Chains A and B, each alone.
Chain A
Amino acid sequence: MSVLEIRNLHATVEDREILKGVNLTLRSGEIHALMGPNGSGKSTLAYVIAGHPHYEITDGDILIDGESILEMEPDERTKAGVFLAFQYPVAVPGVSVANFLRTAVSNVRGYTTRPVEAEGRSGVIGSNLMPMREFRRELTDKMKEFNVDPSFARRYLNDGFSGGEKKRTEVLQMAMLEPKFGILDESDSGLDIDALRVVSDGINKLATPDRGFLLITHYQRILNYVKPNYVSIFYGGRVVMTGGPEVAHMLEEKGYGWVEREFGEAVAA
């Protein structure tokens, strides 16, 4: 059982404050939906949790099981159990999904830091990576399970992938890296109904009691497939309301215009 805690988090980009005191707690086994209008700072929050160097934290803290992660590099946060599924995954030319994922998995599972093995097979390139066969087998199995075509292993990361293919590959990567906390930034946006179902199925498969999800979304639609325990409304760089699934329904009914009317002044102040 783990806890990801965001306390009074303030962050700026190029001297503009985007996050204005975010408070949120996510526990293993929970799915917490974070809903908010475009430009409210949802992706900024996701990036800041993952440690993007572009943002400056001016106040507050992010903790995993009581330990601050703010001083950690992005890869250390990933090893500590954080996974960010990007809203807009970048295409990295010439880097194949299988190639980079083998290194990623090897790091996260500690293969690369096992000194004995590295010594025993010194000089062999890749000797401290997860064994190729083992990795291949697991990747093939998970590609099948998460509905990603096997050909994607050799394709270059997000290069020429459709929107749906990108989001599915993000879920596949999450399945391989087995994080404690998945921060899913609009994993539903731009998907047709079939792709949405595939991505939702993937998330549900991964929603085990030892894992928590922050499900960032603009629309209520994905919540028909992935059932949240909590729903928070994010507006103007902070959480303005938290409740159960009924909050999503209310939002669906009243729209973001209502949020603006209700919380606009509070945030502007």
Chain B
Amino acid sequence: MSVLVKEPEAIMQSVQGFSEDTVRAHSAARNEPAWMLEFRLDAWRQFETMPWPSANDEAWRRTRLTGFDIANFKPLAVSSGTVEKAELSRLLQEEINEMDSAASMVFEDSSLRYSVFHAKLSECGVIFADLQSAVREHPDLVQKYFMTKAVKPGLNKFTALHAALWDTGTFVYVPAKARVTLPLQVILNQVSDGVGGYHHTLVVTEEGAEVTVVDDLLGAKDGMQASVVELVIGNSSVVRYMNLQDFDHSAWNFLTGRAVLGRDADLRWIQVSWGSRLTKAFLDVDLQGTGGHAELLGIYFPIGHQHIDHQTLQIHRAPHCFSDLLFNGALKDKSRSVYMGVIQVFPGAQKTDAYQRNGNLILDATARADSIPGLEIQADDVRCTHAATAAQVEEEYVFYLMARGLSRAQAERMIVQGFFQAVLDRVPVESVVHKLERVIERKIGG
């Protein structure tokens, strides 16, 4: 490890701008095997040939990248080595202390900063590692699953960039029948201003395995984050995944996530989008085996000039699968949200049961929410429903609560909190629920 501390710094300090040389230097600084360098270079070439999103792309019609120029960012943050828990910021220490977790990892800027594990995890054959180490220590598994099954590099411009430059990341592997009851906690704090970050989450579970993973994403002032989440869920495996994005309101955030579910697999994905100046998130659940069950639940609460865009895909390839999507957002000030969702049912995916709901609570007339649901159904024996709503705080609710002695402000606060409750009720980690409630409280207040 000691070889790695000084040298990469020297290498990375010399990096200028986004280029193939930067990709090579990044890989060299991390002592990566040749296959990973090749993988990165191949992705870089794809990135170079792909055009930037334009208003002609349906996916980007309502989310323009006005003011975004990749040349404005340093391509990578310089990594700074690991520290003891006490040396972490108060905020990060609290985050770690508040959650009753099986293990935690903290990333700051481009590398692992701190980690703590329960020995029992590895006894059960569970891998919970930073991706950089996993590339060296579990090359077969990483090579098999990393951006091969769920999110391929060429999916979009930002996944290609991510594949070429990924820096921090988590590799979770849960072998057959292993059950991790407490959550695995990952915190990414992009500390340096104005840099690009490329956080990766790769979760692989084998048959019957169970795991809960929480990603906490912070910082990224004046920066960019192009993250990828891959959940490869084995037959009859149960996965709970939470992506809690609370970036600085100056950050550009691009997330591409996809879960691939085997037979009778069970997923609940909680997507929280609090921060960033702009978020474009592509979130897919891909039901590949019979009897799969997927829940995709999201909350967002843009304020000021924030722009939050979620684009989801519920892919039913196999029969007898269930998917339930619920995205609820409140909007204040001049903020804007976009929700686009498609339920896709392949021929032969009979007995599909799919729901999609997007609710928007408009707290100021200057805020705007667009909701574009869609169905693409190629099977005849299916049940699919979708609904989108945009409404203001219901005056009859306010009156009822005021008639019980609540002030108008208290009544409205409670109604907004209540609006998020349908999702909060399904968040499986209590400390996460409390944290989300606090953020909602703060966002309502000011």
| A positions within 8 Å CB-CB of B | 50-53, 73-75, 77-79, 83-84, 86, 89-90, 92-95, 99-101, 103-105, 107-108, 125, 156-157, 173, 177
Q: Is the CB of A104 within 8 A of B406?
A: yes
Task: Take A52-B399, A53-B399 as given contacts and tell me if A93 and B418 are in contact as well, using a CB distance cutoff of 8 Å.
Answer: yes
Q: Can you sample 7 A-B contacts with CB below 8 Å?
A: A53-B395, A78-B403, A92-B414, A94-B417, A94-B418, A99-B414, A101-B404
Question: Which residue of B is nearest A47, CB measured?
Answer: B399
A93 to B417 alpha-carbon distance, docked (Å): 9
Q: Is the CB of B401 within 8 A of A100?
A: yes
Chain B residues with CB under 8 Å of A52's CB are: 399
Minimal beta-carbon separation of A95 from chain B (angstroms): 4
A73-B408, A75-B402 known; 18 other A-B pairs, CB under 8 Å? Answer: A50-B403, A51-B402, A73-B407, A75-B404, A75-B407, A75-B408, A77-B403, A86-B400, A86-B403, A92-B397, A92-B401, A95-B401, A103-B405, A103-B414, A107-B406, A108-B405, A157-B400, A173-B404
How near does chain A come to B147, taking the closest CB pair, in angstroms?
38
Given contacts A94-B417, A95-B415, A103-B414, contact A84 B403 (CB under 8 A): yes
Residue contact A90 to B400, C-beta cutoff 8 Å: yes
CB <8 Å contact, B402 and A73: yes
Residues of chain A within 8 A (CB-CB) of B441 are: 125
Partner of B399, one of A74, A83, A99: A74
| In the complex with contacts A103-B414, A125-B441, A94-B402 CB distance below 8 A | no
Instruction: Closest B residue to A176 by CB, please name it.
Output: B404
Tell me if B421 and A156 are in contact (CB < 8 A). yes
Chain A residues contacting B404 (CB-CB under 8 Å) are: 75, 78, 100-101, 104, 173, 177
The answer to whether A107 touches B405, judged by C-beta atoms less than 8 angstroms apart, is yes
Which residues of B sit under 8 angstroms from A83, Cβ to Cβ?
403
Cα A157 to Cα B408 with chains together (Å): 17
Cα A156 to Cα B400 in complex, Å, equals 14
CB A204 to nearest CB in B, in angstroms, measures 22
Q: Is the CB of A100 within 8 A of B406?
A: yes
Judge whether B372 is part of the interface by a CB distance below 8 angstroms.
no
State A177–B404 Cα separation when bound (angstroms).
8
Q: A92-B397, A99-B414 are in contact. Are A74 and B402 (CB under 8 A)?
A: yes
A149 to B29, CA, bound (A): 64
The answer to whether B403 and A92 touch across the interface, beta carbons within 8 angstroms, is no
Q: Which residues of A contact B402 (CB under 8 A)?
A: 51, 73-75, 78
Q: Closest Cβ of chain A: how far from B359's Cβ, in Å?
A: 10
Judged by DSSP, the binding face of B is helix
Interface 0/1 of B405-427, CB less than 8 Å to A: 11110100011011111100000
Indicate if B69 sits at the interface (CB-CB under 8 A): no
A173–B401 Cα distance when bound, in Å, is: 11
Give the docked Cα–Cα distance between A125 and B417 (Å).
Answer: 15
Q: What CA separation (Å) do A108 and B404 show in the bound complex?
A: 8
B interface, size bucket: 20 to 34
Complex Cα gap A78–B408 (Å): 13
A89 / chain B contacts, CB cutoff of 8 Å: 400
Q: B396 at the A/B interface (Cβ < 8 Å)? A: yes
Q: Which residues of B contact A84 (CB under 8 A)?
A: 403
Q: Tell me the bound Cα distance from A241 to B407 in angstroms.
A: 37
- What is the CA–CA distance of A51 and B401 in the complex, to the nearest angstrom? 12
Interface residues of B (CB under 8 A from A): 394-397, 399-408, 410, 414-415, 417-422, 438, 441
Which of A53, A75, A99, A157 is the one whose CB lies under 8 Å from B405? A75
- Chain A residues, CB < 8 A from B395: 53
Q: In the docked arrangement, what's the CA distance between A101 and B410, Å?
A: 12
Q: Tell whether A74 pairs with B421 under 8 Å between CB atoms, given A53-B395, A95-B415, A99-B414.
A: no
The CB with the most chain B CB atoms within 10 A, among A51, A77, A86, A93, is that of: A93
CB distance from A5 to the nearest CB of B (A): 20
- Which residues in B have their C-beta under 8 angstroms from that of A94? 417-422
Contacts of B397 in A (CB 8 A): 90, 92
A75-B406 Cα distance, complex, nearest whole Å = 6
Among A78, A156, A177, point to the contact of B418 (Cβ < 8 A): A156
Are B403's CB and A74's CB within 8 A?
A: yes
Residue of B nearest to A88 (CB): B396
* Chain A residues whose C-beta falls within 8 Å of the C-beta of B401 in the assembled complex: 92, 95, 100, 104
Closest Cβ of chain B: how far from A37's Cβ, in Å? 25
Most A CB within 10 A of own CB, among B394, B403, B414: B403
B400 to chain A, nearest CB (A): 5
B400: chain A residues at CB < 8 Å are: 86, 89-90, 92, 157
Closest to B410 in A: A103
Q: From residue A151, how far is it (CB to closest CB) to chain B in Å?
A: 15
For residue B396, which residues in chain A have a CB less than 8 angstroms away from its CB?
90
Please determine whether A93 and B419 come into contact, CB atoms closer than 8 angstroms: yes
Complex: A242 Cα to B84 Cα, angstroms: 81
**Residue among A77, A92, A99 with most chain B CB within 10 A:** A92
Pair B406/A95 contact, Cβ less than 8 Å? no
Q: Which residues of A contact B422 (CB under 8 A)?
A: 93-94
Write the chain A residue with the least CB distance to B359: A93
- Cβ–Cβ contact A78 & B405, under 8 A: yes
- List chain B residues, Cβ under 8 A from A99: 414
B90 to chain A, nearest CB (A): 16
Question: Closest B-chain residue to A158, C-beta based?
Answer: B400
Q: Tell me whether A95 and B407 are in contact (CB under 8 A).
A: no
A95 touches B414 (CB 8 A): yes
Measured CA separation A77–B405 after assembly (Å): 8
> Judging by beta carbons under 8 Å apart, are B418 and A107 in contact?
no
What residue of chain A has the Cβ atom nearest to residue B328's Cβ?
A: A94
A108 to B403, CA, bound (A): 11
Residue of B nearest to A78 (CB): B405
What is the distance, in angstroms, from A75's C-beta to the closest C-beta of chain B? 5
Q: Tell me the bound Cα distance from A89 to B396 in angstroms.
A: 10
Instruction: Please give the distance in Å from A179's CB to the nearest CB on chain B.
Output: 10
Contact B421 A104 (CB under 8 A): no
